[in-house]
Each structure stands twice: as C-alpha cells, then as structure tokens.
Structure 1
C-alpha cells in the first residue's frame, strides 16, 4: 500500500513539473514575438521620418521642399536665394517702401521684386587723389560729362569725373585688373584705360595710364595717373571717364 502511494505522489510531481515547463515556454515565446514586432515598428518609423540630426545632437525636421547640402558630417539647409550681391556693395536688402539714405539698386536681392538693395551714398570711394568727392564734370566747350549727355551725333555712355592732369587715380573698390581697354569718340580721338572688376561690378576707366593691367587691387590703392587732356583739347576740364561694362549708368555708385 505504501509503495502505491509513493508511486502516485511521484507521478503527480512529474505531471506538475511538465505543465509548469510548458507554461514557461509559452510565456518566453510571447515575449520574443513582442520584441520582434516592436523592432519592426521602430524601423518603419525611422524609414519614413524626415528628421536630420543637428550639430548639437537634437533632431531637426527637414521639409520635403527644401534642399539639403551635405558638408562633411553636417547637413546645411539651403535657402531660396541670397543677398550677397547687395552686401558686397555695402548695401542692405529691404522693401523699397522704406526710406533709403543712399540709392536703391535693382536685381541685387533675393525674394520679391519689392526688395531692393539700399546702398550708402558714395558706394565707391573717391577715385581722384586730392579730391574730397567724385565730382561729375560739368559742361565746357567740348561737351558735358553726365551719363547720356549729347556727344556729337550720339549719347555719352559714360560719366566723366573731374581730376588733375597727372594726378593719381585710386581704386574705387577692391577688385581685379583685367587688361587694357580702348575707345574712340565721334571725332576719332582714342582714349586708353583699364578694365577693373569685382564679383559684383565691372567698370572701364579711361584717360589713365595704369601702373599695371593685371592682378588684384585693394580699395584706395593707386591704379595709375591721369593722362593730360589740355594738350589735345584746349579749354576742356581734365577728367577720367567711367563706363560700366554692361553699358548702364555708373552715377548710382559715385
């Protein structure tokens, strides 16, 4: 009788152990399936996200319409345009309805057409040494120095600035000399000079003898000296001539 009871007790213990083991195995499988589903969901979320990582480690959202430029390990958002053409002239981009103490220049600012570049008075420094400002040549027996003034059968597409014979001519802005230039007037007279340009501007300066025709020049540095005009044109006001490379009026800069 005692042997039978012992056998029954052992059998019961074995059955309980088997049931407990099966229950533990089922719980373990459920846990693994839950973790697997969680990783899959996170992967899908990361794949659809438009987030980028900012330099300080925070997440930064990038809208679908914006361009992103990669620079090393950093991603820099590129804006719709740039005002650099205006700032290089020392100006500020602003709505034209605002008062500008200098002059407004078109096509130098990004955004709407109503935003224009307000440049300070005298955006260029004084060209002729010994003068306090860039003074436009008035009318004399040989003509007038303003832009579009009558010159023979045509119009004067330059601006004449009063200078002294053999006086130093200084660079009006920092830029690069780009070689010699020559022009002739209606009477066949020839005028020599040099082309001077920067990233934002290009101008031809006539009636001067440059010290050199190529290379970089800083603002205010001597470019050369004024060629005398009195010897050829008695009674004329000695001057240099400024002509923009695109034929526009340089008066807004001087």
Structure 2
C-alpha cells in the first residue's frame, strides 16, 4: 500500500514539474517575439523619422520665398543731344562758360555735359520792345517767377508791354485754343495756348486774333488788354506761363 502511494506522489510531482517547465518555455518564446516586434517597429520609426528630417530641407528649399532684390533706379542719360539742339542749345562740359543758362538732363554722356541755352532763345513777345523785360515790383506785386502772390507763388512770368500793343509769337508752333484763369479776387484773364514739339506756353491778358492754326516765330498773335481799369498803378504786362508750370525765364 505504501509503495503505491509513493508511486502516485512521484508521478504527480513529475507532472507538476513538466507543466511548470512547459509554461516557462512558452513565456520565454512570447517575450522573444514581442522584443522582435518592438525592435522592428522601432527601426521603422527611426527610418520614418530620418526620411522626414531629410525631406524637410528639400521642401524648405522649394517653398522658401526668393529674396526680393532691391531695384535701383538708374536715371539714364539721353542717348543723343537732340533734346538740347531742339531748344536751340549746345551740349558741352559745364566747366565751360555758357552765354546763357545750363539745362540738365538734355545731353548724352556724363552728367557734366549739359545743355547751354542762350538767353533770349525766344522772340521778343511785345512789339516795340528790344527785349523781354520782366515786370518789376509795383503796388500790386512782382512779376518774376516764384514771387509771392497772396498765400501762394507766382508760377509764371509777367512781361512788360504797352496797352493795346501787338503781341508776337515767341516761337513757331500751333495755336491750341483759348485759355483763361481767375485770381483770388475773381478777376478773369483770357489768352491763348501756343505749343510746338518742344515748348508749350499759355499767354494771358491778350485778345488773340485767332485761337487755332499754325504760326511762325514773330507773327502777331493779338494785342494786350489794359489792366489800369481794375488795378490802378499796375505796370501793363502780359503773363507768360509754361503749361507744366516750370520757369520760362531761361528762354526769354
């Protein structure tokens, strides 16, 4: 009887040992498999990260905006001296003496080459006068360009003329219709526009003989209207204004 019990116990112990060894072996296999799976996933993550980081510089190169280069405006000089010669001038270095006035940006080459325009390039406007005399200051103001007029500046030149005296064309061109202006006091001044390929002027305070058609230099355009009725003591004059409000003094 005792021998039978010992055999049963021994068999039970062997079975328990076998079960324990089987479980331990199975657990070891599962752990190894999980480690391999994690290792593979880790490698994939590393590769993915490497690919992502290596792709970012290329993407930034493509999408990065190009630096805008600052454009420098180079004022190019004229390619020829035509702009000067059409004004009756001559291009020469500005260190030379000019019997008149120098005008900039009219000549080719370096900036030191400027257009020398002689004084009196235009014809005398007022008949009976030897030159275009600018009105001096009187009780009603001054006639020079940029002289003070009320709250502003006089953007024209007043030339001394005789009442009802003939007014001649300062240069050859075409009449381009009537012009008029009003002063702050409401006084109206009429005149005519004269233009050519080079010049454009408005001549006020005259009564034109006509308003359109070609004219030659020195041809009568009309006669001067008197101002004494409205401005006692004023010097009789016409008003000469460039169409772009620049100074016409170098040409008169």
- Whether TM exceeds 0.5 here: the answer is yes
- Equivalence for 1:236: 234
Whole-Å Cα distance in 2 between the matches of residues 243 and 191 of structure 1?
13
- Equivalence for 1:90: 88
Whole-Å Cα distance in 2 between the matches of residues 213 and 171 of structure 1?
13
- Give structure 1 stretches of 5+ with no counterpart: 1-79
1:152 Cα deviation from its structure 2 partner? 1.1
* Matching of residues 192-203 of structure 1 within 5 Å: 192-203=190-201
- Equivalence for 2:160: 162
| Aligned counterpart in structure 2 of residue 130 of structure 1, from 128, 131, 146 | 128
| Aligned counterpart in structure 2 of residue 99 of structure 1, from 97, 100, 112 | 97
* Matching of residues 53-202 of structure 1 within 5 Å: 81-202=79-200
| Aligned counterpart in structure 2 of residue 207 of structure 1, from 193, 205, 208 | 205
1:85 Cα deviation from its structure 2 partner? 2.0
TM-score where L is the length of structure 2:
0.67
TM-score where L is the length of structure 1:
0.67
Give the ranges of 4+ consecutive aligned residues of structure 1 lying more than 4 Å apart after TM superposition: none
- SS of the residue corresponding to residue 84 of structure 2 reads helix
Pick the structure with more strand per residue.
Answer: 1
- Alignment size in residue pairs: 175
Pick the structure with more helix per residue.
Answer: 2
- Equivalence for 1:250: 248
- Give structure 2 stretches of 5+ with no counterpart: 1-77
